[in-house]
Structure formats: structure tokens, C-alpha cells
Chains A and B, each alone.
Chain A
Amino acid sequence: MKKCDFCDSKATVFLTQLVDGQTKKVCLCDQCAQERGVTDPTGFSLADLILGGIAAAAAATQSGEGPPPPQGSGKKCPACGFTMEDLHRVRRFGCAECYTAFRDEIGPMLRGMHRGPSHVGKVPAGLAALHVKHQRLQDLRGRLEQAIASENYEEAAGIRDEIKALGE
């Protein structure tokens, strides 16, 4: 009998998906399949399931194996009380603020999931000006580092003034 990958019940749903040329397989029992929406051929992505695995691995490194983590677990989102353990359990975040609270933990998780680490698409109209400023600041900070590294202090001072002028 083939067992469900999530609990020890008998697996009845067998899922195969081609992702980046690799065949990934997951076996689930009826109940886990239902809970994870696997029976929906239109809305399901194996990435969601695999994400559970990534979060589990992250939790394992946090719990003492390997190098000690910079911050201990037990960290909570100040807005909604969500924890990394919750992420492992439900594979979903609690609110928009969680992305700020767990920024360090999220970074590595996104690497295997997406083409790039930062957004380059549509920006809400109300935030467009802010977004442009954010990108300009990032750009200036990068140039400032370069200028300092190459001991071009005059240019660095100029860039620093520009950053100040942007209000940071």
C-alpha cells in the first residue's frame, strides 16, 4: 500500500507535475488531497505542497541542527500574531505585515520558487511615485557603495546629498 506523503493513511491521489523539466510526484490520501485543494485541476500547484517541505526544512535548521539561526524561532508578526510554525502548518501567511516581520526567513524560500527576488511588474497607481522613489534610493545606495569602494569620496558625498534630498 502506498502511503500518503502527509499522513500515514492510504494514498489514493497521485499527482505528477513537470516543473523545470523535473518530474515531481506527490501521493496523498483523500482527506489531505481535499484539504490541499489537489482535486482542483485548475487551481493547484505542486509548488504549494513543496513549499510545506521548504518551511519544514527551515524549521529544522532553526531547531538547532546546522549553524545557529540569527534569530530564534518564536518570532511573531506584530500585526496578526502569526509565527513561522504557523507557516509550516498552513503554508500560507497571516497578513501583509508578516512579509515585513519574516523578511529574512522569506528570502531564501523564494529563491527556488520565482525567476527573481524582486518585483518588476505593475505598481498600484497610488504607490507609483513611492515605488519610483524606492527604486531610485536603491540605485543611489548601490552607487554610493561603489563610490566608497573606489575611494571616490567626492562623488560619494554628492550621492549622499541626493539620498538626503530624497528624505532618507
Chain B
Amino acid sequence: MMRFNTLVRNPADWMTGAHPERGAVLTSRIRLARNLRRHPFPGWAKREQRAEAFSLLRPAVEALPAMKDAFSQELSDLSSVQKQVLVERHLASREHAARGDGSGIVIERRQTFSFMLNEEDHLRMQAIRPGLQLQATFEALSALDTALESSLEFAFDPTLGYLTTCPTNLGTGLRASAMLHLPGLVLGDQIGQVLQAVGKIGLAVRGLYGEGTESLGNLYQISNQSTLGESEETIIRHLERVIAQVAHHEQNAREKLLEDDPEMVADKIGRAYGVLRHAHIIDSKEALNHLSLLRLGGSVGIFPASTAPLCDSLLMEIQPAHLQHHTGRKLSPEERDSIRAKIIRERLQNHPSPDKSNPSPAETGPDDGSATPSDDS
């Protein structure tokens, strides 16, 4: 059985540069909700009923070939910091991390697949991949879902589809989402318009960090809301098209910024670099916002292309639970701010200085195919 430290020692596949181009779309994530037909939903089940469901779910998931040598634990056997690390890595939901007895998690070695057992639903399975590839991510996860059907009987109704604890997930039980980095739209003051347009067509947009539509680090998540009345393919095609358009707008916004005011862009990125490289005390908010600019620098040619994946893994590493796991003890907020600064300084030690001789948004190429709206009519 894989140990926790082994699991989290390496960054997830989707966090590192496994994907050749890293532009506006950081990750694609698919979540499917499933329930056992003959067992009450976890929130309504009695303790022993929940345990019974768990005893069916866990071996079924562990037996999947893709989950060979996976990390598998009951939540009551994990510390609160460990659970929080999983939340920060997007491998467990915050709601799930609050659970204990009778709930569990099974995570594939490369952290691509994760199965939450007795979450709000009996089974919440998830797959994450880098870049914009929702359809491929869905297909990979759907294959595991199909494989599970041979050992588990899922609750399904011909009219309502897969039956879920909350009616907002009925039908496909599918939540598809992408994480986007949109500094160009934020700096160009167009973010409000774009997000409003996305909201208007029935998709949900939220800042990844921070409250409401305000976002730290210029990171946003776009996902589907409706799960009933459309097929998985339709939901995903629609979402991918919209996300590709947003990425395209982001690219245009970057180009325009560099054309209109290259000094301002170089100044912002240079200052962010200076602070991150030399700060000794930095809170999460300041770090996220500067890392966002550093990442932008990587995609407009002020920094090498390797800067973006570096920023992406730093985004995780500087979160509170990761810091505490890293140091092996509970930290006060003040201690966290110094350790956060130290980690960032170390990681940037050999990072080249800004080169503003030829900033160009085209330098990163076609932006993993997401820079232009996909032609899938």
C-alpha cells in the first residue's frame, strides 16, 4: 500500500510540464457522481449502513487495474494536515476532508484519478489532466466508471439518469471544469465582461482562490451547472468551446497589453519577480498575485517557457497545509509567511532575470490548441 508521503512527494502529473504547452488553461477536471442502488445515501445512512457501503466500494475501486498500488485510506486514519494537503491538490473536496469514520479516499499513483468514497454521494470519482482536454479526460474516467459496473450496482433511473444525493447533480452526475489563468483580461479590465458572458450561457464561473468573482492569482474555474437533459458529450463540447474562446480572448488581451504599454507590463512582471526573489515574509495573497505575473512573464517571452510549470507547482507548495506538511509541524501564520518566502526564494534561486528585449505573446506558440476557438461544428 502506498504511503501518504510517497504519494505527495512528487507533484501530480497535471501540475508539472507533462503537457507541452501551458497557456491560459492549466487543467481540465472531470467529476462523476455515482451511488449504490440498495444503500441509503451517505448523509442519511446510519453508521453501520455507511460502513456496509464502504466495504463494497473500497475493494471494487482498489481492484481497478488503473488503481494498482494506489494510495487508499480511511479518512479517520489521516491527520487534518494530510487531508488538507489533499484538498489543496484538488484530490479531495473540502467537504470530504471534514469526514472521518466510514469515508475514504483512493488516489492513483500519478494523482490523475481520485475516488472519494462516502462523500456526499457514495462515489465521487475524478480525473485531472493538464491543459484543455476535457473530452479525453472524460473518456478515461468513464472507462473506469464502466469497469466498476461489473462489481457495483449503481442507482439509475431511465428518466432521471444517475441518481445523486443532491438533485443538482442528477442525470449524468458530471461536473466538468477547467482552471484558467487570465492575467491579460484582468490587467486589460475586460474580465468582468468575459465572465458575465460565460455566466449568461448557463456555466458557472468562480475565482479559484478568494471570494465571489474576485480572484487571487487571476485563476478562475469554469464549469457546467446543468447535468440533466444533455449528454456528457454535449456538455463537454459546449464547455470546451467556451473555454477555448475565453483562452483566445486572454491571448488577444495579452497581445494588446504588450502593444499598447510594454513598459507597464515589463514593470509589473519585473517587480513581481523582484519581490518573490527577495522577500522574507510573504502572505498567501501577495504570493499568488506575484506568481501570476511571473507566470505571465513565462508565456510572453520575458521569462523562459519553463517558468509557467514552476509557478504552477509553487501555487500548490505555498498553500498552508503543504507548508505544514513540508516542515512536519503546525505553523503559526507568521511562520508560514516566512517559510513560504523561503521556499519561493529557493525555487527562484537559479531563475533567469527578466529579459524584456523581445516580449511577444506569440512566443509560446499556439497555446495548446486553446488559443483559437476549436472548430468542432
Q: Are both chains from one complex?
A: yes
Binding site for B on A (CB under 8 A): 13-23, 34, 37, 39-43, 45-48, 51, 79-80, 82, 86, 90-96, 99-100, 106, 109-110, 113-127, 130-131, 134-135
What residues on A are CB-neighbors of B232 within 8 Å? Answer: 121-122
Contact of B95 among A20, A37, A120, A135 (CB under 8 A): A37
Shortest CB-to-CB span from B205 to chain A, Å, is 6
Interface pair B211/A114, CB less than 8 Å apart? no
Say which residue of A95, A113, A119 sits within 8 Å of B168 (CB atoms).
A113
Which of B220-228, B287-295, B343-351 binds A?
B220-228
Residue of B nearest to A16 (CB): B212
- What residues of A have a CB within 8 angstroms of the CB of B226 in the complex? 113-115
Cα-based distance from A46 to B206 in the complex (angstroms): 11
Q: Please give me the residue from chain A that is nearest to B168 by CB atom.
A: A47
Q: Are the CB atoms of A94 and B44 closer together than 8 Å?
A: yes
User: Closest chain B residue to A47 by CB distance?
Assistant: B168
- The answer to whether the Cβ of B166 comes within 8 Å of any Cβ in the partner chain is yes
Among A92, A118, A124, A126, which residue has its beta carbon within 8 angstroms of that of B120? A92
Residues of B within 8 A of A134 (CB): 158
Shortest A89–chain B CB gap in Å is 11
Tell me the bound Cα distance from A105 to B234 in angstroms: 28
A119 with B196: CB separation less than 8 A: no
A159 to chain B, nearest CB (A): 20
Complex CA distance for A86 and B39, rounded to whole angstroms? 18
Instruction: Report the minimal beta-carbon distance from A63 to chain B, rounded to whole angstroms.
Output: 21
A43 nearest CB neighbor, chain B only = B93
Task: List A contacts of B98 (CB < 8 A).
Answer: 34
Please list 10 pairs of residues, one from A and one from B, whose beta carbons are closer than 8 Å in the complex, sorted by A's number: A13-B211, A40-B93, A41-B206, A41-B221, A45-B225, A79-B40, A92-B166, A119-B159, A119-B171, A131-B158
- What is the CB-to-nearest-CB distance from A27 to chain B, in angstroms, rounded to a whole number? 11
Across the interface, name the chain B residue whose C-beta is closest to A39. Answer: B94
Q: Which of A14, A48, A80 contacts B211 (CB 8 A)?
A: A14
Chain B residues lying within 8 Å of A23, measured Cβ to Cβ, are 199
Interface presence of B146 (CB below 8 A): yes
Question: Quick one: given A109-B167, A118-B159, are A19 and B204 in contact (CB under 8 Å)?
Answer: yes
> B42 → chain A, closest Cβ, in Å?
9
Q: Which of B192-227 contact A (CB under 8 A)?
A: 195-196, 198-202, 204-213, 221, 225-227
Closest A residue by C-beta to B158: A134
CA distance A17 to B159 in the complex (A): 29
Q: List B contacts of A13 (CB < 8 A).
A: 211
B35 in the interface (beta carbon within 8 A): yes
B212 A118 Cβ-Cβ under 8 A:
no
- Going nearest first, the 9 A-B pairs with the smallest beta carbon separation are A116-B229, A18-B199, A119-B161, A40-B94, A21-B200, A16-B212, A96-B155, A115-B229, A114-B228
From B87, B155, B213, B229, give the contact of A18 (CB < 8 A): B213
Task: Write the residues of chain B forming the contact surface with A, with a CB cutoff of 8 angstroms.
Answer: 35, 37-41, 43-44, 87, 90, 93-95, 98, 120, 142, 145-146, 149, 153-163, 165-168, 170-172, 174, 177, 195-196, 198-202, 204-213, 221, 225-232
Across the interface, A43 reaches (CB within 8 A) one of B39, B94, B172, B231, namely B94
Name the contact of A117 in the complex, choosing from B40, B44, B87, B229 (C-beta under 8 A).
Answer: B229
Q: Are B205 and A18 in contact (CB under 8 A)?
A: yes
A124→B156 contact, CB < 8 A: yes
CB nearest to B90 among chain A residues:
A42
Which residues of chain B come closer than 8 Å to A86, judged between CB atoms?
A: 44
Bound-state Cα–Cα, A130 to B153, Å: 15
Question: Are A18 and B167 touching (Cβ within 8 A)?
Answer: no
| B40 x A95 contact (CB < 8 A) | yes
Residue of A42, A43, A120, A121 touching B174 (CB-CB under 8 A): A121
- By the criterion CB–CB under 8 Å, are A45 and B231 in contact? no
Evaluate contact between B167 and A16: CB separation under 8 angstroms: no
The one of B44, B166, B211 that contacts A51, using a Cβ cutoff of 8 Å: B166
Given A96-B37, A119-B159, are A90 and B142 also a contact pair (CB < 8 Å)? no
In the complex, the answer to whether B168 meets A51 with C-beta atoms within 8 Å is yes
A115 in contact with B196 (CB, 8 Å)? no
Most chain B beta-carbon contacts within 10 A, residue among A15, A79, A121: A121
Residue ID in chain A nearest B44 by CB atoms: A94
- Given the interface pairs A18-B204, A47-B225, the reply to whether A121 lies near B230 with Cβ below 8 Å is yes
Query: Would A90 and B170 be within 8 Å (CB), given that A20-B200, A118-B159 are in contact?
Result: no
Known: A17-B206, A99-B157. Contact between A90 and B43, CB under 8 A? yes
Answer whether A17 and B212 are a contact pair too, CB < 8 Å, given A110-B167, A113-B226, A121-B171: yes
Closest CB-CB distance, B315 to chain A, in whole Å?
13
Contact B41 A92 (CB under 8 A): yes
Complex Cα distance, B211 from A13, in Å, reads 8
A118 and B160 within 8 A (CB): yes
User: Contact: B196 with A121, CB < 8 Å?
Assistant: no
**Chain A's nearest CB lies how many Å from the CB of B121?**
9
